[in-house]
Amino acid sequence: MPISITWFPPSWLLIRNKDKVIYIDPAWIQKNFDNFPKKIIFSHYPDPMDGLPEADLPKADIILVTHHHQDHIKTATLNRLAKRNTRIFAPSKCAELIGRPFEEVKPNDEHDVGEIKIKAVYAYNTEAGHSTRKVHHKGECVGYLLTIDGKTIYHAGDTDVIPEMKEFGKVDMAFLPIGGTFTMDIQEAVQATSIIKPIIVVPMHFLKANPDTFKKETNKAVVLKTGESFDL
């Protein structure tokens, strides 16, 4: 069975293999879903709150959170996706938004959940980076390297291009922000792609950036629409 990866904006992934359901950065902002086909999927939910994506998604075995900003973690979303025994991994500053027991992670921490390997990696803004809002401080936020069925998926979180990217090893699929305000921009995401050398790279956290522009800059890019899946 392939690994199925579904993207929701800005940086939310649903990852499924034959055994596990995993979410990274489960959050919603209503405007991101204005054109989502709710009438097809959510017509049986008359309440507008139930028209949001988590209303019809599978419950989580694992939830990973990169940092404490509310476009990456929403309490309501997490509560609707989590089971009693869901394992939640997040930096310490996420405690208030998670509101339930979780396993604290710091950069370079490693955890095994069955055969799934989770490694937290650095994610931060740099003085040299093109990001105009330096709000992600080194050590407070993380990205994740997630190894499932022999394939490694990198979720960058919110970050600039950082030297630690040279140490990742084999990456099959990378999800990189391109927005340029709080994170790297398109030019830097192309640079990060050349450093990480993934087989496939998917832009996320667009803000006003055009993901199709990023796709033109690298032949490794796949652009996903809201709720669209890719089999790895």
pLDDT, tens digit (0-9, with 9 covering 90-100), for 161-212: 999 999 999 999 999 999 999 999 999 999 999 999 999 999 999 999 999 9
Token look-up 């869901």 returns 86
Concatenate the DSSP letters of all residues of 142-204 into one string. EEEEEEETTEEEEE--S----GGGGG----SEEEEE-BSSSS-BHHHHHHHHHHH--SEEEEE
pLDDT tens digit sequence for 4-27 = 999 999 999 999 999 999 999 999
Domains and CATH numbers, the chain: 4-223 (3.60.15.10)
Contact 3, 149 (CB under 8 A): yes
Taking 50 as the threshold, does the pLDDT of residue 43 lie above it?
A: no
Q: List, for residues 49-92, the tens digit of each pLDDT value.
A: 445 677 678 999 999 999 999 999 999 889 989 999 999 999 99
Please give the pLDDT value at position 31: 73
122 Cβ partners below 8 Å, 6+ apart?
Answer: 107, 108, 138, 139, 142, 143, 159, 162, 164
SS3 131: coil
Distance CA 28, CA 48 (A): 13
Q: What is the pLDDT of residues 94-132, one digit of tens each?
A: 999 999 999 999 999 999 999 999 999 999 999 999 999
pLDDT of 227 over the 90 cut: no
Q: Quote the Cα angle for 72-171-11, to 5°.
A: 15
DSSP secondary structure, 201-221, as one string:
EEEE--TT--HHHHHHH-TTB
Number of H helices, E strands in the chain: 5, 13
pLDDT of 50: 46
Determine contact, residues 86/62, Cβ cutoff 8 Å: yes
Phi-psi region of 160 (alpha: psi -120 to 50; beta: other; left: phi over 0): beta
Q: What is the mean pLDDT of residues 35-41?
A: 54
What is the pLDDT averaged over residues 214-219?
A: 97
Judge whether residue 41 has pLDDT over 70: no
40 pLDDT band, cuts 50/70/90, is: very low
Confidence category of residue 44, pLDDT binned at 50, 70, 90: very low
Predicted local confidence at residue 49, as pLDDT = 45
- CB distance 164 to 121 below 8 Å: yes
Backbone angles phi, psi at 36, to 5 degrees: -75, 140
